[in-house]
Structure 1
Amino acid sequence: MPTPLSILQQYWKHPAFRPLQEDIIRSVVEGKDTLALLPTGGGKSVCYQIPGILRGGTCLVISPLIALMKDQVDALNEKGIRAAAIHSGLQKEEVKNILQEAVEGKYPFLYCSPERLESHLFNEYLTHIPIELLVVDEAHCISQWGYDFRPAYCRIAATKEKLRDVPVIAVTASATPLVLADIQEQLKLKSPAVFKQSFLRPNISYSAFNTESKINKILEIIHKIPGSGIVYCNNRRQCKKIAEAILLQGIAADFYHAGLEQSVREKKQQNWINNKIRIMVCTNAFGMGIDKPDVRTVIHHDIPDCLENYYQEAGRAGRDEKRAFAVLLWQEKDLTTLTEQTEIKFPPIPVIQQVYQAIADFLQIPVGSGEGIYYDFDFETFTRRFSLEPLLVVNVLRILEQEGHIQFNEQIFLPTQVSFTTDTQYLSQFEEMYPALEPVIKALLRTYPGIFNNRVSVYDQQLARICRMNPEQIHTALKQLQTLGIIEYLPKKETPQIHFMLNRAPAKYLHIQHEAYLERKQLHVNRVSQMIAYASENNQCRSQFIAQYFGDEGAKNCGVCDYCLRQKNKNISQKEFNAIETAIQKSKEKSIAVDTLMKECENINPKRIWEILNFLQAESKIEISEEKMIRWLQ
């Protein structure tokens, strides 16, 4: 019989588990409700995928983002483990086909967005699928006291009740004690086994700089710390501007944000993963689901509004457990802006009603209609036409989503939709008349069952591969087939969309849960104050500050953040410091191997030497290569 370790080695090719993974897997395999708090890079997916394989049947995974689901499904299928995902980008017939196959036990893993849980079609099949494990990924989304509350997650508890005696594992990377308690209550977990990994990342050196010129500081950091890096920015224009400044220094850089076409984003992402691009300058749309272990620096040009987001983004550095740097840049005006943004993020209810009315007018939705319909939403035109602040609109959309009125996602991806509109007899004649289009017709018929009777999702890249064409040629062929009356063709959509969950209400009667809204606003104020304290206060180890924020009161000083290095520097004698500095500088090309330095300074404790080297590296006076070569930079 396979063991958790043998499955890990067979499919994931890892020799051993990371801390806590095996304990979590054992708890789930034994059928216990389990709550796992594993910080970014802690290997959450393995904790439910291995039990899913061991328990047999189907493992139902609730996940909030289509991109995350797609990444997980692709990764499992590449390992030879069948998996499928049900999300808003699929047509009814495609969902039905997946569910029928799931009932037959063809998918060990079935991924589903929380919005699908209450659909009539899904519930028709739910109790007939041999579900042996229910997984709630990004479980913090179920708590309205968290930083990323999504009301659709509240439907999971009802689904859990329908799956009697099926164990639940809820996983998250960032949750405060308040949110952890709320997850257990909302999911009605039965005496759950709770696992919390330490929030300390001993290989990451955290630092924060109050700097007059952020771009100069960014250039200084990436010049002095070799290797792959990420620079996070709050707005798209800034991403491009900073990437261009880095390129002028002869460093391979690119920019990434949600406003780029899907194919462009994918190409940029692959170039960075394959080290064709060294530095990616991006918004927080980048990085989710990407596991690149050798990221040496994560720099924040702008301050996130909470430590949850900062910790998750900074945590993309150093997943290979080698030394990495997480740097936060700030100016006094940033702290003021962050405080003032609370009123924009949580505007007065009359303002919410005003924006809701403007959306309805823009989309031309009459009162009492709209439920279940997706509307293309040209964000830029909307804000310009109604003279609204873009950030205010984004936040109102989020509030309307949390209150259950709409769903909005600027990164929504609806694939190409195709259905045949002719009969088979005429189609045969058509192929003879238009032989150039025959390969595309044949590929559609062979690849997508049910396409004659239903509109189905068609993937341009897959079709291009089968037909040995490029995507542009496929697009042209599909347009021709539509013009000639052979197919109905709806090109893929990458534009933002609003999905109305309820019929449009008169704005003045728009339902907002007032007390809960004000409480969420106060919790946001508290999160902002903690983020500001992290950036601006210099009286505590940064790793310890983060750990205590997440309830890890026993965390010790990390020894490698800017605070800890300053403390060590106070205790370093000038004689020891000068001896090491001289040994490095006197060597040829101001470069020396660590082992050689140890021999030359044998009268100094090796631990002390490493303390001094860590300090010098954090102060950007030296760099230490992976080959343990020290180079003086100043």
Structure 2
Amino acid sequence: MSDFKSILTRYWGYSNFRPLQEEIIQSIADGNDTLGLMPTGGGKSITFQVYSLAKPGICLVITPLISLMKDQVENLNKKGIKALAIHSGLSQREIKIAFDKASWGDYKFLYLSPERVNTERFKDHLGNMDVNLITVDEAHCISQWGYDFRPSYRKITELRQLLPDVPVLALTATATREVEKDIQKQLDFKKEHVLRKSFFRDNLIYIVREREDKMQYLLQSVQRAKGTGIVYVRSRKLTKEISQYLRKNKISADYYHADLSSLNREKKQDDWKSGKTRVIVATNAFGMGIDKANVRFVIHYGPADSPEAYFQEAGRAGRDGKKAYAVLIYGKSDVLAMKKNVEKSFPDIEVIKNVYQALCNTFQLAVGYGKNQTRDFNLGEFASKYSMQIQTIYNSIKILQREGYLELTDESDNPSRLIFIVGRDDLYKFQVANASFDGFIKLILRSYSGLFADYVPINEELLAKRAGLTIEVVYRFLNHLNSYKIIHYIPRKNTPYIFFPKERIEINRLKISKEHYADRKHDYQKRVDAMIHYSTQKLKCRSQVLLQYFGEKESVRCGNCDVCLERNELGLSKLEFDRLADEIRENLADPCSFDELIMKLKGNEERKIRVIRWLMDNGKIVKRIDNKLEWKRNQQANGAKPE
């Protein structure tokens, strides 16, 4: 057994790698910069984790997803593997301690949010680290053509100059061929090297339904389906409304969105993961980093914003390899709303500038100050204070982020934590002089270890229960000890952060480039159009449409989606149908009547009639006022070849 396979068995309990995992590991071992493309749930993290465990030194893992890095660090630590994370949700003291541990503490993995890579503190410590691999997760973020571009990712290339002999592994679940090439260019690959697993999921059945009464069809779908599932909706309000509707109809359901308290979200997640709740109705805030292999269905109550987002969310179904369903329910109003959303996603330049100025004022950043500073950010409170729409603020921030003026992190659920900042002798003196605190301090020391060396997560409710006190009294004790500089206490927070990579500038100097406004608007329009096309077309296999978007031109029909099943009823093979459809299209270059068309076509008359009727029912052939048939060409312009 190879070292890599023995590590896989020892720590993960698997006897064999999944497809592509071992190839990626071997590619890095051979010294190749490597871009690995694996669909959601394909086991990307095992590639760099197994490789680095087989080598001396530490692996740098750069990812923008704080919740994901925290989950992975926790899981590695549970396996006895030393790992830590540094991100914008930590205090400066915590960041310093973490960098010291990474430099001198024999750690195997250091997870970093991208904005940390460019800090002087990181660069100062880097020389003390024996780095064996640079892993760039969510690598599409480095490409301006990627759907979630982040300028801080561009700073990763500086690591290549500081660590010229260390290979780079870039990983992503969703990238078009254009984005693939740009990732390798931006990461300064020595030579292009892509290892990709087909995005084809043979166990995932795609179904699209156009329904005006979406709620009723949703209920019927959930009633027919087996096992647990996710329903994705586009607003926080809908999560609650739909979950209540499902519960009224005796479906075990709950709702989830980013505005819930961290404890509430944690409970809802746990209830769903354990099977106590069967269906979770959620915004796109749900799912990242949540590992549940036996999800039997994912239903989208309206289209996602892009094929990338849809593929990633739908891909959370059936990770165990068993049959699962990805269902999309839409109405005509959804298509209209998506088209309007393109304009809403790109506010006027003056509005964007006003948002920037309001942010700087809120955080009391003077012109020329604020570089590398991080601030808690409550989007709802900010919107209320300045009487702005949440969507306008969010979209303005995304454009400011592209320009590199600031970055918005994902929400980070940070537990309460503390460290003793006095030595044991001084602590004893304090306890003697302040008898009222003595019992509480002893309780903390009995409950947790390592409090003098590092920040330790604590649970105020547990302390209150053990001490026989109310939680309010526990908070008061902790805050008093903090004010006396006996401990540094950081209460639990669940909030996104705004990071300022640059100092604040005068508003008249703030520039929004064509590249990051007009060009990105055009790019976003293409993504929306592609998602609308996937939703509304009824001629091409759903799986093929998605795979073609991601550059897989030679994919085969899945045979199981709604389009394929309807096509199968015609009793024709793919080749027979394609030939006949092509012949029909050629003969309708000049519109003609139904009977004239039948006469022009070769072969069995019954088959000809079935295909013509199918093409008419699915909107590919239209009947004009003069009763002549005409090939509808607007779908051809959208890239739909008759199937």
What is the TM-score normalised by the length of structure 2?
A: 0.83
Paired residue secondary structure (2:532): helix
Following superposition of structure 1 onto structure 2, how do residues 63-102 of structure 1 map, counting pairs within 5 Å? 63-102=63-102
Moved more, 308-317 or 256-265: 256-265
Partner of 2:315: 315
Residues 1:294 and 2:297 are matched in the alignment: no
Deviation of 1:465 after TM superposition, in Å, equals 6.1
User: 2:230·2:297 contact (CA, 8 Å) conserved in 1?
Assistant: yes
Cα distance between partner residues in 1 of 2:303 and 2:468 = 39
Render the CA deviation track for 1:400-428: whole Å, top value 9, x for unaligned: 12222122236134554646687435422
- Could you say which residue in structure 1 is the equivalent of 2:431? 428
| Alpha-carbon distance, 1:287 to partner | 0.5
C-alpha displacement of 1:480: 2.2
Do 2:541 and 2:563's aligned partners in 1 also have CA atoms closer than 8 Å? yes
Give the 5 Å matches for 1:111-150: 111-150=111-150
Does 1:268 find its partner at 2:268?
yes
1:571 and 2:571 aligned: yes
Paired with 2:113 and 2:431, the residues of 1 have a C-alpha distance of 40
2:53 is matched with 53
Per-residue deviation, 1:440:
4.0
Contact 2:464 2:474 in 1 (8 A): no
Distance 2:497 2:394 in 1: 13
Aligned to 1:449: 452
1:390 equivalent in structure 2:
390
Q: Determine the structure 2 residue equivalent to 1:20.
A: 20
Q: Secondary structure at the match of 2:183?
A: helix
1:91 is displaced (CA, Å) by 2.6
Q: Structure 1: where are the runs of 5+ without partners?
A: 451-455, 574-634
State whether structure 2 residue 434 is matched by structure 1 residue 437: no
- Residue identity matched to 2:203: N
**In structure 1, what residue type is equivalent to 2:247?**
L
Report what 2:477 is aligned to: 480
Q: Give the corresponding residue for 2:458.
A: 460
470 and 209 in structure 1: CA distance in 2 versus 1, 3 angstrom threshold: farther
1:31 is matched with: 31
Is the contact between residue 374 and residue 498 of structure 1 (CA under 8 Å) also seen in structure 2?
yes
Question: Contact 1:541–1:564 (CA<8 Å) still a contact in 2?
Answer: yes
* Structure 2 counterpart of 1:168: 168
What is the CA–CA distance in structure 2 between the aligned matches of 1:483 and 1:467, rounded to whole Å?
16
Secondary structure of the residue that 1:55 maps to in structure 2?
coil
Structure 2: any 5+ residue segments left out of the alignment? 574-643
Q: Retained in 2: the 8 A contact 1:416–1:493?
A: yes
Query: Are the equivalent residues in 1 in contact too, given 2:440–2:467 (CA < 8 A)?
Result: no
> In the alignment, is the contact (CA less than 8 A) between 1:233 and 1:300 conserved in 2?
yes
The amino acid across from 2:276 in the alignment is K
2:232/2:301 contact within 8 Å kept = yes
- Alpha-carbon deviation of 1:124? 0.8
Query: For structure 1, which segment, 347-356 or 163-172, has the greater mean C-alpha deviation from structure 2 after superposition?
Result: 347-356
Q: What is the alpha-carbon root mean square deviation over aligned residues?
A: 2.5
Determine the structure 1 residue equivalent to 2:340.
340
The structure-2 alpha-carbon separation of the partners of 1:121 and 1:373, relative to structure 1 and needing over 3 Å to count, comes to closer
Q: Secondary structure at the match of 2:54?
A: helix
SS in 1 for 2:128: coil
Contact persistence 2:88–2:497 (CA under 8 A): no
Q: CA deviation at 1:115?
A: 0.9
Q: How far 1:47 moved relative to its partner?
A: 1.4
Cα 1:496–1:429 shift into 2, 3 Å: same
SS in 2 for 1:107: coil
Q: Find the aligned partners of 1:213 and 1:430 in 2 and give their Cα distance.
A: 71
Displacement of 1:82 in angstroms is 1.5
Aligned partners of 2:296 and 2:324 also within 8 Å: yes
CA deviations over 1:343-401 (Å, ceiling 9, x no partner): 22122322211222333344444433333333444433432343322211111111112
- Residue in 2 aligned with 1:593? none
- Per the alignment, in what secondary structure is the counterpart of residue 322 of structure 1? coil
Any residues of structure 2 matched to 1:584-623 within 5 Å, and which?
none
Select between 283-292 and 191-200 the one with higher mean Cα deviation: 191-200
User: Structure 2 vs 1, CA of residues 436 and 39 (structure 1 numbering), >3 Å: closer, same or farther?
Assistant: same
Secondary structure of the 1:124 match is helix
Paired residue for 1:350?
A: 350
- Partner residue, 2:408: 408
Contact 1:548 1:555 in 2 (8 A): yes
Mean alpha-carbon deviation: is it higher for 15-24 or for 376-385? 376-385
The number of residues matched between the two structures is 567
- In structure 1, give the amino acid aligned to 2:318: G
Is the CA contact (8 Å cut-off) linking 1:204 and 1:325 kept in structure 2?
yes
DSSP-derived class of the 1:207 partner: strand
Aligned residue in 2 for 1:555:
555
Distance (whole Å) between structure 2 residues aligned to residue 121 and residue 142 of structure 1: 23
Q: How does 1:246-257 map to 2 (within 5 A)?
A: 246-257=246-257
What SS does structure 1 have at the residue aligned with 2:110? strand
Asked whether the 8 Å contact 2:88–2:374 carries over to 1, the reply is no
198-207 or 505-514: bigger deviation: 505-514
The two structures have a TM-score, normalised by structure 1, of: 0.84
Aligned equivalents of 2:439 and 2:161: distance in 1? Answer: 55
Change beyond 3 A, Cα 1:539–1:469: farther
Q: Which moved more, 1:493-502 or 1:10-19?
A: 493-502
Once the two structures are superposed, residues 178-201 of structure 1 have per-residue CA deviations (whole angstroms, 9 ceiling, x without a partner) of 100000000001124311111110
The C-alpha deviation readout for 1:229-263, integer Å capped at 9, x for no partner, is 00011111110111111111222111111111112
Superposed counterparts of 1:88-237, under 5 Å: 88-104=88-104, 106-237=106-237
Percent identical among aligned pairs is 41
Q: What secondary structure is seen at the aligned counterpart in 1 of 2:337?
A: helix
1: CA distance between counterparts of 2:452 and 2:551? 52
Structure 1 equivalent of residue 603 of structure 2: none
**Matches of 1:504 and 1:244, distance apart in 2:** 46
Give the 3 Å change call, closer, same or farther, for CA 496–503 of structure 1 in structure 2: same
Q: Does 1:325 align with 2:325?
A: yes
How far apart are 1:481 and its partner, in Å? 4.1
Q: Which residue type is aligned with residue 21 of structure 1? A: Q
Distance verdict in 2 for CA 1:99–1:387, change over 3 Å: closer
Letter in 2 for 1:428: Q
Aligned to 1:571, the other structure's residue is in SS state coil
**2:245 aligned partner:** 245
Which stretch of the first structure deviates more once superposed, 475-484 or 5-14? 475-484
Q: 1:490 to 1:102 in 2, by over 3 A?
A: closer
Contact between 1:440 and 1:477, CA under 8 Å: does it hold in 2?
Answer: no
Amino acid at match of 1:92: Q
Query: Does the 8 A contact of 2:293 with 2:317 survive in 1?
Result: yes
Q: Report matched runs for 1:469-508 at 5 Å.
A: 469=466, 476-483=473-480, 485-487=483-485, 489-508=489-508
1:265–1:338 Cα change, 3 Å: same
* Cα distance in 2 between the residues matched to 1:99 and 1:373: 18
